[in-house]
Amino acid sequence: MTNKWACLAVACLATLLLSIDLTVLHLALPRLVADLGANSTQLLWIGDIYGFALAGLLVTMGNLGDRVGRRRLLLIGAAGFGLASVVTAYAPNPELLIAARTLLGVAGAMIMPSTLSIVRNVFTDPGERTAAIGIWSGMSAAGFALGPVVGGVLLDHFWWGSVFLVNVPIMVLVLVAGFLVLPESRDPAPGRLDVPSVVLSFAGIVTAVYAVKEAAHQGPAQADVLVAAVVGVVCLGLFVRRQTRLADPLIDVRLFRRRAFSASVGTNLLAIFALSAMSLLFAWYLQLVLGWSPLQAGLAQIPGGLSGAVGGVLAARLIGPLGRNGVVALGLALNSGAFAWYSTLGTELDYLTLLPVMLVGGLGVGLTFTVNNDNVLATAPKERAGAAAAVSETAFELGGALGIAILGTVLNSVYQANLRLPAGVPGEAARESIAGATRTAAGLPSEAAGELMRAARTAFMSGMHVTTLVTAVLLAVVAVLALAGLRGVPKVIREESPVHP
C-alpha cells in the first residue's frame, strides 16, 4: 500500500528546492552583477528567463505527465535540474548564465505540475487533500525563507555560484526517495498529444511575456514589442480556439466555466503579480541600503517564510467558518496592509518593528495560495490533475515573471528619476540601478563613494515607497475581486467528473 504521507514528503522536498533556487538567486544578484559585469537588461533576463521558460512549458509538461506518468516526469526533471544547476554555478559570463537558467526553467516545468498532481491523486479525501495542499504550499513558503539563509551562509564563505550547487544534493535525495516511494499515475485514456497546441501554447506565453517585459523596459511603441504582442495574442487566441475543437485537448478550456477554477486561477495570477517583487526588493534593500551581509539579510526574512508555512496549514481550518472566498480575501487583505506599512521604511531599520508585519504578510500568503490551489485541483477531474496543476502554476509563474518585470521597472524608473549624482562622479552605471551605484562606488575615493551611495540609497527608497504602495493597492483590489469571484464555491469540493463527454 502506498504511504501517501511519504509521497507528500517527496513532493514537498522537490517544491522546497524550486523555492530555494528562486530566493537564493535574488540574494546572489549583487555579487553576480559585480563578478560578471551584467548590465541592467542582462540582469532582468537573468532574473526573468527561468520564469519565462518554466511558464511557457508548464502546460505541455503537465499534460505530458498525465500521459507518460507523473512520477517518471518528476524524476527526469529532478535529474535535469541538478545538472543544469552545475552549469549555472560555473557560468563564466551573463550570456551562458541566462542559457543555464533557461535549462533550469525547462527542468522546473517537469517538476512543478508533477508534484501537485501526485498530491491530488494520492489524497482522495477532500479534507486530507486540502490539508496536504496546505502543507505543500507551506513548504513552498518555507523555501522562500530558507533560501536566503542557505544563500547567506554560502555567500559569506564562497563565490556566488555556490548557491546553485546546493541544488545538487537535494535533487539526489528527491531522485532516490521518489524512486522508492512514489507510485506511478497517469491518465488511463490520454488520447493523442497535439503538437500544434504545444507550439501555440509555448509561443503564445513566451512572446506575450516578452512583449510586456520589453514594453515596461523600453516603451510600448518599439517595433519588437509590437510584433511580440501581436504574435502572443494571435498564438494564444489560436490555442484556445483549437482546444475547443479537439477530442483530446491540451487544456480543457471548459474548466474555466467553473467558478472555483477560473476565479482561483485569476486570483493567483493577480496576487503573485503583486507579491513577486517582495523577495527581490528586500534583498536589495537589506544588503545595499542597510548594508547587511547576505547571511544577515537571509536570517531577517526567515520569520515571514515560516509564517507562510503556518498560513498554509491554518487555511484548511478556516475554510469552515469563513468560506473559501473569505479565506482568500483575508490573506490578500493581510498582505495589502503589510505592503502599505513597508512604504514607510527608511534608510535605517528597527527590525523588531518590521518583524510583526513580516509575520502578518507571510500568514496572508499561506492562506491565499493554499485555498486557490486546492480549488483548482479539486475542481478538475483526477485523471487530468497534471494539466490542471499546470494551469495553476502557469498563472503563478506568468504573474510572477510579469510582476518582477513591471514592478522592477517601476522601481528602477523612480530610482533613476530621483537620483542626484554628486559632481564629478561617473554616472552611467550608477544611473542604471543601486547595484550599479555600488559597483561604481567601489572604485572611488571614500568621500566620493559615500556621497554617491547616500544619493543612491535615497533614490532607491523613493522607488521602493512607490512600488510598495502600488502593490498594496493592487492586493486590496484583488481581495475584493476574490471575495466576489469565489462566492458560492462549496466549502467541501468533492470529486469532479470530466467536463467534456
- For 345, left (φ over 0), alpha (ψ -120 to 50), or beta? beta
Higher-pLDDT residue of 275, 14: 14
How far is residue 451's CA from residue 447's CA, in Å, rounded to a whole number? 6
pLDDT at 238: 92
pLDDT at 151: 74
Do 236 and 362 fall within a single domain?
no
How far is residue 480's CA from residue 212's CA, in Å, rounded to a whole number? 25
**pLDDT average, residue stretch 101-108:** 89
Residue 178 phi/psi, 5-degree rounding, is -65, -40
Buried b (16+ CB within 10 A) or exposed e, 57-76: bbbbbbbbbbbbbbbbbbbb
pLDDT at 499: 41
Higher-pLDDT residue of 390, 466: 466
Per the listing, cell 494564444 goes with: 236
pLDDT at 149 over 80: no
Query: Please, are residues 74 and 22 in contact by the beta-carbon 8 Å criterion?
Result: no
Do 71 and 200 fall within a single domain?
no
Do 123 and 238 fall within a single domain?
no
pLDDT at 501 over 50: no
User: Under DSSP, is residue 166 helix (H, G, I), strand (E, B) or coil?
Assistant: coil
Does residue 235 fall inside a structural domain?
Answer: yes
Does residue 210 fall inside a structural domain?
Answer: yes
DSSP 38-59: --HHHHHHHHHHHHHHHHHHHH
Do 335 and 421 fall within a single domain?
yes
Question: Would you mind telling me the total number of residues written for the chain in this entry?
Answer: 501
Does residue 501 fall inside a structural domain?
Answer: no
Q: What domain count does the chain have?
A: 2
Do 233 and 178 fall within a single domain?
no
Per the listing, cell 517518471 goes with: 72
Does residue 299 fall inside a structural domain?
Answer: yes
Query: Please, are residues 86 and 168 in contact by the beta-carbon 8 Å criterion?
Result: yes
DSSP E strands: which ranges in 41-121?
none
Do 398 and 258 fall within a single domain?
yes
Query: Please, are residues 373 and 328 in contact by the beta-carbon 8 Å criterion?
Result: no
Higher-pLDDT residue of 208, 24: 208
pLDDT at 498: 44
**pLDDT average, residue stretch 381-394:** 74
Higher-pLDDT residue of 8, 54: 8
DSSP E strands: which ranges in 244-368?
none
Cα–Cα–Cα angle for 398, 404, 406, rounded to 5 degrees: 95
pLDDT at 500: 38
pLDDT at 300 over 50: yes
Does residue 498 fall inside a structural domain?
Answer: no
**Domain end marker among 208, 225, 245:** 245
pLDDT at 497: 42
Taking CA atoms, 241 is separated from 193, 238, 434, in Å, by 16, 5, 45
Per the listing, cell 552583477 goes with: 33
pLDDT at 473: 92
Do 215 and 355 fall within a single domain?
no
Do 232 and 329 fall within a single domain?
no
Alpha helices in 123-194 (DSSP H): 126-157, 162-165, 167-181
Dihedral, CA of residue 337, residue 152, residue 19 and residue 342, to nearest 10? 10
How does pLDDT run across 401-410, given as a tens digit for each residue? 677 777 877 8
Does residue 495 fall inside a structural domain?
Answer: no
Q: Side-chain half-sphere of 477: how many Cα atoms within 13 Å?
A: 10
Residue 234 lies in domain: 196-245
Do 164 and 132 fall within a single domain?
yes
CATH number at residue 116: 1.20.1250.20
**Domain end marker among 211, 227, 245:** 245
pLDDT at 303: 84
Does residue 499 fall inside a structural domain?
Answer: no
DSSP 340: H
pLDDT at 75: 92
pLDDT at 337 over 90: yes
Do 302 and 240 fall within a single domain?
no
pLDDT at 427: 67
**pLDDT average, residue stretch 50-78:** 84
Residues of the chain above pLDDT 90, percent: 10
User: With bands split at pLDDT 50, 70 and 90, how would you rate the model's confidence at 118?
Assistant: confident
Among residues 129, 142, 168, 111, the alpha carbon closest in space to that of 16 is found at: 142
- Looking at every residue in the chain, the average pLDDT score rounds to 81
pLDDT at 298 over 80: no
Does residue 407 fall inside a structural domain?
Answer: yes
User: With bands split at pLDDT 50, 70 and 90, how would you rate the model's confidence at 164?
Assistant: confident
Higher-pLDDT residue of 429, 121: 121
Among residues 159, 208, 176, the alpha carbon closest in space to that of 14 is found at: 176
pLDDT at 80: 92
Among residues 297, 277, 278, 275, the alpha carbon closest in space to that of 30 is found at: 297
**pLDDT average, residue stretch 76-90:** 90
Taking CA atoms, 132 is separated from 59, 123, 128, 297, 378, in Å, by 23, 8, 6, 30, 12
**Which of 119-133, 169-183, 295-309 is the most confident on average?**
169-183
**pLDDT average, residue stretch 434-461:** 83
Amino acid at 479: A
Write down the pTM of the prediction.
0.78
Do 211 and 315 fall within a single domain?
no
**Which of 152-156, 188-192, 231-235 is the most confident on average?**
231-235
How does pLDDT run across 247-292, given as a tens digit for each residue? 778 777 777 888 888 888 888 888 887 777 676 677 788 888 888 8
| Max CA distance (Å), the chain | 74
**pLDDT average, residue stretch 1-13:** 80
Q: How far is CA 14 from the centre of its chain?
A: 15
Residues of the chain above pLDDT 70, percent: 92
Among residues 22, 13, 469, 18, the alpha carbon closest in space to that of 283 is found at: 22
Do 213 and 314 fall within a single domain?
no
